[in-house]
């Protein structure tokens, strides 16, 4: 536990060093929400419909508020950390530590999420509740939403760690990271709810892990699912976490053998 808290504090302090980024986000996120507010108000007014693809205008705006909040919380760039560590040789020191490489990065990542929650998420929550009048779900669905977001943090970490492991073979994965970011923005429902896609695409999305990062947690908050559906969705989300965890462990063993046998 002491090692975890120490590495977590390291991530927290690292985030403070880059605090300018957080303050920029405090300006960027509200401005983005203003743009989405007027964009979707225009769309609803032009369509003449009160409900579009299962969402009222109020729900659509809440969707984007939550998309920003959840996206901020689950944001993970450990693949960039891994890439840089491999290129500059810092990964050698990481391998010599008593804590496994995966745990080291997770603790630092978790510490950074703590700082993100304090500096970015809490202010946005305050603005959303007291100025935007965003309604809260029932206590049960509120707790399920928090659980879904926590699981989304784990899922995104292990998936991103798997992407970062490719740097042991490719050395430079900046291009892969950019493609990943762009594609995932659509697949996780960050830009528009997945219900806006054609049914054939929605049927494919159901078998992918990415909807569990934003789309599912947000719709739990909006109480779009029955309780029985939420239980199933959270179970599937947990299964995806375990899948990527075991993939990460297996591929890391191969990467470590490559490193130990031939060097980087």
Residue 95: Cβ within 10 Å count:
14
Predicted pLDDT of residue 23 = 65
Please report, for residues 142, 157, 181, 208, the alpha-carbon distance to residue 160 in angstroms, rounded to integers and kept in the order given.
Answer: 27, 5, 10, 15
Look at the chain and report how many structural domains it folds into.
Answer: 1
The per-residue pLDDT for 111 is 78
Give the Cα separation of 228 and 132 in Å (integer).
31
pTM of the predicted model as reported, rounded to 2 decimal places: 0.86
pLDDT at 225: 97
Q: Report the SS3 class of residue 51.
A: strand
Residue 197 zone, left/alpha/beta (φ > 0; ψ -120 to 50; rest): beta
155 CB-side CA count, 13 A: 26
Residues of the chain with pLDDT under 50: 3-4, 6-13, 15-17, 264
Q: State the first-to-last Cα distance of the chain, in angstroms, to the nearest integer.
A: 32
């Amino acid at each position: 536990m002491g090692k975890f808290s120490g590495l977590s504090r390291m991530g927290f302090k690292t985030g403070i060093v880059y605090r300018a980024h957080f303050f920029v986000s405090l300006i960027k996120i509200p401005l983005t929400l203003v743009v989405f507010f007027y964009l979707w108000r225009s769309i609803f007014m032009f369509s003449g419909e009160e409900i579009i693809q299962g969402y009222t205008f109020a729900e659509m705006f809440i969707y984007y508020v939550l998309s920003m909040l959840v996206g901020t919380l689950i944001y993970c760039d450990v693949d960039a950390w891994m890439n840089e560590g491999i290129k500059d040789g810092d990964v050698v020191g990481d391998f010599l530590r008593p804590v496994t490489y995966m745990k080291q990065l997770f603790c630092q990542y978790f510490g950074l999420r703590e700082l993100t929650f304090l500096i970015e998420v809490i202010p946005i929550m305050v603005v959303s509740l007291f100025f935007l009048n965003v309604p809260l779900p029932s206590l049960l669905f509120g707790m399920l939403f928090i659980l879904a977001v926590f699981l989304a943090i784990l899922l995104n970490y292990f998936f991103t760690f798997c992407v970062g492991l490719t740097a042991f073979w490719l050395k430079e994965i900046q291009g892969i990271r950019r493609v990943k970011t762009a594609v995932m923005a659509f697949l996780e429902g960050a830009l528009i709810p997945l219900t806006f896609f054609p049914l054939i695409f929605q049927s494919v999305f159901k078998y992918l892990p990415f909807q569990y990062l934003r789309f599912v947690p947000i719709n739990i908050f909006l109480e779009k699912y029955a309780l029985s559906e939420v239980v199933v969705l959270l179970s599937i989300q947990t299964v995806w976490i375990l899948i990527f965890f075991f993939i990460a462990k297996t591929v890391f063993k191969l990467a470590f053998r490559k490193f130990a046998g031939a060097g980087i």
